Structure 1
Amino acid sequence: MGGNLETMEFGEARSALAWWLEAGVDTAVQDAPRNWLAPAKPAPAVAPSPEPVSNLAEPTSETLAELQQWLSSSVQLPLASATARRILPHGPEQAPVMLLSDSPALEDFTSGQPIGGVAWALALRMLAAIGLSGEQAYSASLSCFHSPGTRMTEAERKACADIARRHIALVKPQRLLLLGDGPCAAMLDKRLVQARGHVHKIEGVRTVATFHPRHLVNRPLDKALAWRDLLLLMEDES
């Protein structure tokens, strides 16, 4: 599944072409050939993440499986409460790309995954456009809770960022895509409008920010901008 256009199944190829057309792609060539699935170069050594500024949660998991178990059971998580609904991440370790989205919305909870409903359908088309299937991506939320009417405090946001950094370090993705304002604010201390168009490094991983697919469903004209972000994400590192 996934891969280059020569090995794509008909449905995947049609989905990719539909995304390209909506994003305004009008030519099938670039200045140089692009290997969409070329592995990213090994991440440079980075200094350990700073100590959490909040004592709301401090995961000490040594493996991804341990962290996932902690996420599924810990009552120390930010926003954990009797009314909060838990939505867990999914995907393979060392994924070609990790998607980090904002706190789940109702449609995500209904689908039982970090990005759900029509937003996930669009996310699949975006992934297909860069030669990847949904199964090849690791998908997670800044917070794994859906808590209606609840907004993150600054302390909760910082605690969630600490958890997300630990998550990224254990997943070891080749690339990271931040979806929406929430992850940009928590992970980069910037709004999406400031973060877009630049390559960032989080836990040594090449990182690009773009719109959440839910935004693109409501604002389809921004798909062309999102396509530029995907191209930037998949560029070979020099």
Structure 2
Amino acid sequence: MDAYPPLDTADYASALDWWRDAGVDVLVEDAPRDWLATPIAPPRPVVAPAAADAAPAGTAMPDTIEAFAGWRLGPDAPEAGWSGVSLAASGPIDARVMVLVDCPEREDGDAGTLVSGAAGRLLDRMLAAVGLSRETVHLAAVCARRPASGRMPRDIEARLGEVARHHVGLVAPERLLLLGDATSRAVLSAERPAVRGGLQPFNHKRGQTGVVASLHPRLLLERPALKAESWRDLQLLVAGMEERKA
């Protein structure tokens, strides 16, 4: 069985559009390029907190992904008191790739799905460019509800990060893509520029996940020139995964 399902014609067209925007204009360059040669700080393992430390007494998070999914949308979730609706994660619970964003977009509530609208269409193109899709990745948000300010509140960021790390540990993906600076801070406790350009190891009870910190699609819409940087991150995300087919 192939690692990823075949793409249809629309997926190929979307991938070509993304490659063009990212500045990919040749199939094979004259000189080889080492995409992983960007100088970065040495990776430091990120260890998921122990269950006893992950939540205050009486609010321990469920230890199965099915139970966690219900808890995440319930009254014990950190942002349960915020206005609006909570948006559930989507995609396979055993996906090889997990994608985390910081919080729902303004239009996501009406659409009933994470990363909709223009940002969602761009995300779809980004995934298609590396042979992925919403149907093959596990997509979730650090904030299940959109904050009133549109930004993840710093005073609850650490708690939301604990919840997100617990979520990652339950899915136990092979790779994790973090989109946005706030997402990187919450999960890796580090700003994205400090950890980008390399595969960061994330340790959890079920093993280790390779993490790539990248740019959120909404930033890429505002600053298209950054798509080339995002493309390098996407290449890093799937590098070597084709070698481990089922």
Contact preservation (8 Å) 1:19, 1:125: yes
CA contact (8 A) 1:56 1:156 kept: no
**Does residue 26 of structure 2 align to residue 22 of structure 1?**
no
Question: Which runs of 5 or more structure 2 residues have no equivalent in the other structure?
Answer: 34-45
Residues 176 and 57 of structure 1: is their aligned pair in 2 closer, same or farther, counting only changes over 3 Å? Answer: farther
Supply the distance in 1 between the matched residues of 2:193 and 2:47 (Cα, whole angstroms).
27
4+ residue stretches of structure 1 with deviation over 6 A? none
Equivalents in 2 of 1:128, 1:80: separation in Å? Answer: 33
Match of 1:67 in 2: 68
Unaligned residue ranges in structure 1 (runs of 5+): 33-45
The residue aligned with 1:213 is 217
Task: Give 1:144's aligned residue.
Answer: 144
Please give the TM-score of this superposition, normalised by the length of structure 2.
Answer: 0.80
Q: 1:233 aligns with which of 223, 234, 237?
A: 237
- Which residue of structure 2 aligns with residue 36 of structure 1? none
Name the CA shift for 1:97/1:47 in 2 (closer, same or farther; >3 Å): closer
**CA gap 1:86/1:65 in 2 versus in 1, 3 angstroms:** same
Tell me by how many angstroms 1:114 deviates: 2.4
Q: 1:201 to 1:208 in 2, by over 3 A?
A: same
2:80 corresponds to = 80
Pairwise CA distance, 1:205: 0.5
CA contact (8 A) 1:52 1:58 kept: no
The amino acid of 1:49's aligned partner reads P
Contact 1:58/1:163 (CA < 8 Å) preserved in 2?
no
Paired letter, 2:67: E
CA RMSD of aligned residues (A): 2.9
Q: How many residues align?
A: 223
What are the equivalent positions in structure 2 for 1:146-225 lying under 5 Å apart? 146-149=146-149, 152-202=152-202, 203=204, 204-225=208-229
Deviation at 1:104, TM superposition (A): 1.7
Q: Alpha-carbon deviation of 1:111? A: 2.0
Contact 2:152 2:182 in 1 (8 A): no
Structure 1 residue 17 displacement after superposition = 0.8
* In 1: Cα distance, 2:158 partner to 2:19 partner: 36
Report what 2:39 is aligned to: none
Q: Aligned equivalents of 1:55 and 1:87: distance in 2?
A: 23
CA 1:97–1:146 in structure 2 vs 1: closer, same or farther (change >3 Å)? same
Change (3 A) 1:224 1:145: same
Structure 2 Cα separation of the partners of residues 57 and 217 of structure 1: 42
Per the TM alignment, residue 153 of structure 1 is displaced from its structure 2 partner at its CA by 4.6
| 1:101 and 1:178 in contact (8 A); partners too | yes
Q: Cα gap change, 1:89/1:47 in structure 2, threshold over 3 Å: closer, same or farther?
A: closer
- Alignment map for 1:24-103 (pairs within 5 Å): 24-29=23-28, 49-50=49-50, 51-52=52-53, 55=56, 58-73=59-74, 75-81=75-81, 83-103=83-103
Q: Percent identity?
A: 33
Q: Report the Cα offset of residue 48 of structure 1.
A: 5.7
Task: Report the secondary structure of 1:170's partner residue.
Answer: helix
- Measure, in 2, the Cα distance between the counterparts of 1:170 and 1:124: 24
